[in-house]
């Protein structure tokens, strides 16, 4: 019995020992272990193969770029050889040579090949004249301005439309291009610029390129060293490259799976990025391991290349380990499943019936629970829908991705969503429907793109095309596991309209109460309407006194030609769009034209509307309080449109305010008629009279007094900006004819408020205004002073002023009467006398007396500041007597003026030149030691020697100067000592051969430079 039991136990399968699940798990673990080993070996082999393939393609790509650039540089060497083989290559020869090369066909990426001569600044005009004579009348060196050297693009082939944009551009004027030119000049090799925008691509915002230049040296001149190359430089040949064209096709088919970025220099920064084969951020899925950064040097300039493998790079190799892994997993699962099925088949057969009974009972309970939950969910959803539909606000719920979950009935009514719009299937259709109703859709679209975070909310105000205003709120909310947004829309059109109307009404009433000009009041009315409806342009046209013509009242947003076409014309003569205004005035009724160009017969009469880009027009009559027609308010749209109720209400309110303003202006005109007689006496007074309102200034002073500002003078000195603010508060009430004539103003200028305190006190004279303010505020009734003012034509003048407090206003300082007298001519005559006393009449330089005064002032400064320095130069024209003897004194005077002009061109603002003798000149250089003075003197000596003077008789005269220098010190007894030292150095220069510079530093003699005239 025992033996049979033992034999039966050993005969049981392994699945009975450990159980079906543990047995299947052991089989699965064994198979998965074998699968992992196979996958690991395959993955290592694939990664090594992929890395090797990537490194090879990177080297191949870098080599292709370097090889292509070397080929292009050889093309430039060919053009360099063309100039090396010829003393003068003409434009036609240059064109013929490059036409044979067919650069654009054989060398893609080169935008052209050009020639840059090196020109001194003095040769600019001659060079431009030569190129214009070759058939380019508009040729000019750009950018304009005088520079020491120029390198303009003179030849450029092919001379296409884009290359014409660069024709004449001065590469020397721009630092990056100039650095490449200088490097090519000094090395004799090709040089490449950094990252630039080609002149041909001036209108392209993201196109970058570079230039490669080669120097061209003069024939027969050595250029072994840097100094020899600089001296022998004749010109450059260059080629512009656009990065996108250059990189097209580089690397072949294999490069399409690589993301290539090229950076200028060694830094990998956004500012240095020159080329990106895949613009934008790093492509999703790009391998971070398969990336390489290479540095190459082309034409002496470094590039940094960053290469990344794109998704799918060598996908077949990478797919092999995955196939091995999946195959092993599937086989392992199959074997484990088979083992589990075999082991568990017997146990499942035994418990199947009991388990089936148990599951049937649980299923019945689950069905009952689900049915109850569905009923509750339907009831809750119906209650939520009823609540949403009964709210006064429009509700919309969507997620961050823009998928719309739900909306209530108020939202659909508010935005007039048609029933046919299936927004649940296409949420973008609902967004487009909402955006199409907005005058400015940006707030709605920005709120949709940038949802608020946390418990924050975003508020915006939306303006609809039909005149409604809607308040928009956006809040974040959580719907289960998904982040959502709750949109709330409320119609605030009525409240917004009431606020705007009240604001406009209050503003107009304030302007009427303060006596503002009618033009300003009407313009305020028009601007308020346009602010409410940005898509609308408005104007107000008035009837003249005879009620037969239209006069422009205000039209700030319409073109000038459109306004002038209606101003001053008879009602019967007006046609087209202006005929609508005449129709509204003749009928006294509102006129609405929804489409100005709908009628084909009206096309000719609507030409003005076409030119002004107007599509619809609404005319609202303007009436006074008695119902009398005073004008018409015109509203225009750039699209065909019909007015809504909100539009009509707003236009009616604006027309009512305009009628009040016009009647107020007419009343004021009647009052002014009673003052005409007094006005005539006032206007014809021979003295310039100004009536000024200082009430705002008095109110500001009262506020300062309340702030315990006791010392007004000290406060104004500590706050100089407040003085200008106080001056701006002064209002010119009236000015008589003499005052208007004094400032070159007209009655029209006075009526439109063009006169201000600047016609009595301009900005430099504000301290005088402050003195007058202090005197009048302390109780003075009269204050007199000298000041400066600005005429309306912009001329600055000087005057004498008398400020008189108006009788009855001595305590309040409200009104001031100012009389002014223009003393500019008297001041000018005094200045001319001073100029004659201090200036040399022939050269315009300071004379000896004025120069000595400046010298004494500088000597006094050096005595106070012993650490400072200064230098004095004495100049003498070499052989000047020969010029007078050979050509006459008139030519000699011209030579003196010529030298004076050359001196002034080289000086700083602080330097003082002077003519101290017949042909002797002197220059004071404050703050300059002898070393810096020597550099300045040599530059001046060369400028004089290289320039020439052509007289009226066609005589070409070239002069040289001898210069003596001496340092000025505060220890000198007087200023004559430095003149004596400089004069002694000058005579040494003249004895030493002239056209040279010598200095007298109190020690041994030393010649700074010696350039004998040939």
Residues marked as catalytic = 919
Burial class (CB within 10 angstroms; exposed 0-12, middle 13-18, buried 19+) of 401:
exposed
Q: Strand, helix or coil at 707?
A: coil
Sequence-ordered alpha helix ranges (H) in 778-929: 824-838, 848-864, 880-887, 889-906
Can you list the positions of beta strands (E) in 228-370?
Answer: 233-242, 258-264, 273-276, 291-298, 301-309
Q: Kindly report whether the peptide bond that precedes residue 158 is cis, defined as omega within 30 degrees of 0.
A: yes
Residues with Cβ within 8 Å of residue 788, at least 6 apart in sequence: 761, 762, 764, 765, 796, 797, 798, 799
Q: How far apart are CA 114 and CA 63, in angstroms?
A: 27
Q: Closest Cα to residue 532, out of 701, 445, 351, 654?
A: 654
Q: How far apart are CA 899 and CA 949, in angstroms?
A: 10
Q: With both helix axes pointing from N to C terminus, report the angle between 20-84 and 315-390 in degrees, rounded to the nearest 10.
A: 100
Which residue is it, tokens 């550099």?
935
Q: Closest Cα to residue 240, out of 307, 171, 296?
A: 171
Q: How far apart are CA 290 and CA 321, in angstroms?
A: 18
Instruction: Give me the long-range contacts of 77-83 (CB less than 8 A, separation at least 24).
Output: 77/190, 77/214, 79/113, 79/115, 79/214, 79/237, 80/214, 80/215, 80/216, 80/237, 83/115, 83/216, 83/234, 83/235, 83/237
Q: How many residues does the chain have?
A: 1014
C-alpha distance from residue 23 to each of 26, 327, 344, 352, 929 (Å): 5, 22, 10, 21, 101
C-alpha distance from residue 349 to each of 13, 19, 181, 346, 358 (Å): 17, 15, 93, 5, 15
**What is the sign, positive or negative, of the torsion defined by CA atoms of 691, 695, 701, 705?**
positive
Query: Which tokens go with 194?
Result: 């950094």
- Containing H/E element for 573? none
**What is the sign, positive or negative, of the torsion defined by CA atoms of 405, 408, 414, 419?**
positive
Instruction: Give me the long-range contacts of 318-323 (CB less than 8 A, separation at least 24).
Output: 318/46, 318/50, 320/42, 320/46, 321/39, 321/42, 321/43, 321/46
Q: How far apart are CA 513 and CA 501, in angstroms?
A: 18
Which residue is it, tokens 């025992």?
2
Q: Closest Cα to residue 718, out of 731, 703, 699, 704?
A: 704
Q: How far apart are CA 434 and CA 486, in angstroms?
A: 16
Q: DSSP letters along 575-632, please?
A: -HHHHHHHHHHHHTS-EEES-TTSSGGGTTTTHHHHHTT--EEEEEEEE-TTS-EEEE
Q: How far apart are CA 634 and CA 558, in angstroms?
A: 11
Cα-Cα end-to-end distance for the chain: 141
C-alpha distance from residue 472 to each of 490, 491, 710, 830 (Å): 7, 9, 52, 71
Strand 996-1000, strand 961-968: pairing: parallel
C-alpha distance from residue 244 to each of 97, 208, 241, 975 (Å): 26, 8, 9, 67
Q: With both helix axes pointing from N to C terminus, report the angle between 848-864 and 824-838 in degrees, rounded to the nearest 10.
A: 90
């Amino acid at each position: 019995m025992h033996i049979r039991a033992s034999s039966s136990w050993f005969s049981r399968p392994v699945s009975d020992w450990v159980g079906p699940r543990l047995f299947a798990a052991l089989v699965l673990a064994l198979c998965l272990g074998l699968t992992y080993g196979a996958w690991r070996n395959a993955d290592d082999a694939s990664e090594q193969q992929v890395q090797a393939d990537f490194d090879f393609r990177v080297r191949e790509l870098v080599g292709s770029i370097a090889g292509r650039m070397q080929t292009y540089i050889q093309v430039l060497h060919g053009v360099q050889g063309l100039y090396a083989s010829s003393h003068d290559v003409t434009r036609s020869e240059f064109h013929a040579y490059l036409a044979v090369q067919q650069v654009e066909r054989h060398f893609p990426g080169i935008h052209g090949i050009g020639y840059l001569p090196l020109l001194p600044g003095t040769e600019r005009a001659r060079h431009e004249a030569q190129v214009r004579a070759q058939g380019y009348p508009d040729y000019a060196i750009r950018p304009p301005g005088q520079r020491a050297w120029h390198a303009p693009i003179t030849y450029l082939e092919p001379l296409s439309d884009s290359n014409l944009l660069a024709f004449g551009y001065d590469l020397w004027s721009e630092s990056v291009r100039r650095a490449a030119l200088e490097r090519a000049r000094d090395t004799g090799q090709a040089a490449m610029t950094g990252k630039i925008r080609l002149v041909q691509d001036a209108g392209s915002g993201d196109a970058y390129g570079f230039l490669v230049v080669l120097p061209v040296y003069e024939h027969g001149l050595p250029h072994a060293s840097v100094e020899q190359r600089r001296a022998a430089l004749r010109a450059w040949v260059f080629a512009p490259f656009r990065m996108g064209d250059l990189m097209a096709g580089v690397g072949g088919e294999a490069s399409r799976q690589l993301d290539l970025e090229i950076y200028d220099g060694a830094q990998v920064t956004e500012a240095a990025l020159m080329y990106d084969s895949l613009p934008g951020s790093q492509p999703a899925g790009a391998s971070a391991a398969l990336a390489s950064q290479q540095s190459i040097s082309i034409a002496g300039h470094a590039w940094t290349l960053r290469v990344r493998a794109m998704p799918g790079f060598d996908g077949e190799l990478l797919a092999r380990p995955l196939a091995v892994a999946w195959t092993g997993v599937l086989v392992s699962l199959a074997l484990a499943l088979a083992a589990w099925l075999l082991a568990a088949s017997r146990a499942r057969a035994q418990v199947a019936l009991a388990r089936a009974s148990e599951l049937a009972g649980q299923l019945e309970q689950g069905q009952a629970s689900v049915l109850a939950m569905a009923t509750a969910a339907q009831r809750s959803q119906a209650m939520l829908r009823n609540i949403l539909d009964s709210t006064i606000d429009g509700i919309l719920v969507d997620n961050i991705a823009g998928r719309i979950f739900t909306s209530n009935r108020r939202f659909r009514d508010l935005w007039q969503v048609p029933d046919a719009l299936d927004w649940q299937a296409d949420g973008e259709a609902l967004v487009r429907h909402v955006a199409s109703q907005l005058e400015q859709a940006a707030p709605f679209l920005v709120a949709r793109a940038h949802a608020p975070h946390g418990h924050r909310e975003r508020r915006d105000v939306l303006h609809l095309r039909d005149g409604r205003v809607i308040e928009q709120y956006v809040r974040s909310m959580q719907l289960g596991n998904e982040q959502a947004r709750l949109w709330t829309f409320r119609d605030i059109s009525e409240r917004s309209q009431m606020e705007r109307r009240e604001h406009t009404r209050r503003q107009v009433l304030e302007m009427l109460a303060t006596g503002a000009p009618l033009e300003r009041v009407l313009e305020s009315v028009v601007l308020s309407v346009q602010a409410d409806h940005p898509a609308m342009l408005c104007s107000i046209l008035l009837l003249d006194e005879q009620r037969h013509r239209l006069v422009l009242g205000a039209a700030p947003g319409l073109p000038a030609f459109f306004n002038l076409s209606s101003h001053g014309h008879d009602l019967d003569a007006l046609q087209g769009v202006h005929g609508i205004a005449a129709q509204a005035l003749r009928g006294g009724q509102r006129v609405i034209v929804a489409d100005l160009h709908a009628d084909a017969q009206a096309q000719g009469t609507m030409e003005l509307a076409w030119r002004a880009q107007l599509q619809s027009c609404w005319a609202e009559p303007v009436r006074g309080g008695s119902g009398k027609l005073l004008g018409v308010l015109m509203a225009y749209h750039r699209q065909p449109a019909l007015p809504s109720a909100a539009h009509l209400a707003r236009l009616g309110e604006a027309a009512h305010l305009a009628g009040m303003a016009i009647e107020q202006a007419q009343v004021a005109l009647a009052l002014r008629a009673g003052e005409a007689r007094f006005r005539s006496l006032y206007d014809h007074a021979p003295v310039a009279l100004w009536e000024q309102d200082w009430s705002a200034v008095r109110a500001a002073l009262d506020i300062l007094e309340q702030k315990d500002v006791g010392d007004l003078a000290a406060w104004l000195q500590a706050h100089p900006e407040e003085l200008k603010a106080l001056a701006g508060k002064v209002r010119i009430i009236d000015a008589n004819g003499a005052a208007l004539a004094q400032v070159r103003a007209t009655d029209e200028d006075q009526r439109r408020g063009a006169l201000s305190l600047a016609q009595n006190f301009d900005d430099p004279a504000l301290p005088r205004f402050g003195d007058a303010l202090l005197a009048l505020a302390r109780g003075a009734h009269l204050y007199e002073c000298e000041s400066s003012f600005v005429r309306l034509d912009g001329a600055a003048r000087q005057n004498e002023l008398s400020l008189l407090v108006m009788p009855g206003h001595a305590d309040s300082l409200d009104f001031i009467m100012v009389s002014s007298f223009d003393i500019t001519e008297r001041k000018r005559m005094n200045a001319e006398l001073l100029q004659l006393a201090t200036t040399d009449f022939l050269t315009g330089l300071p004379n000896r007396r004025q120069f000595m005064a400046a010298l004494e002032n500088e000597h006094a400064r050096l005595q106070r500041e012993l650490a400072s320095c200064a230098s004095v130069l004495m100049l003498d024209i070499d052989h000047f007597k020969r010029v007078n003897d050979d050509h006459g004194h008139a030519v000699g005077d011209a030579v003196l003026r010529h030298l004076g002009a050359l001196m002034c061109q080289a000086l700083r603002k602080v330097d003082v030149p002077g003519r101290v003798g017949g042909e002797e000149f002197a220059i004071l250089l404050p703050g300059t030691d002898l070393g810096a003075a020597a550099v300045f003197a040599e530059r001046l000596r060369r400028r004089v020697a290289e320039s020439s003077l052509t007289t009226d008789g066609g005589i070409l005269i070239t002069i040289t100067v001898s210069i003596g220098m001496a340092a000025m010190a505060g220890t000198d007894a007087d200023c004559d000592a430095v003149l004596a030292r400089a004069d002694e150095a000058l005579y040494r220069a003249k004895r030493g051969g002239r056209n040279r510079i010598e200095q007298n530093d109190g020690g041994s003699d030393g010649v700074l430079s010696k350039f004998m005239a040939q």
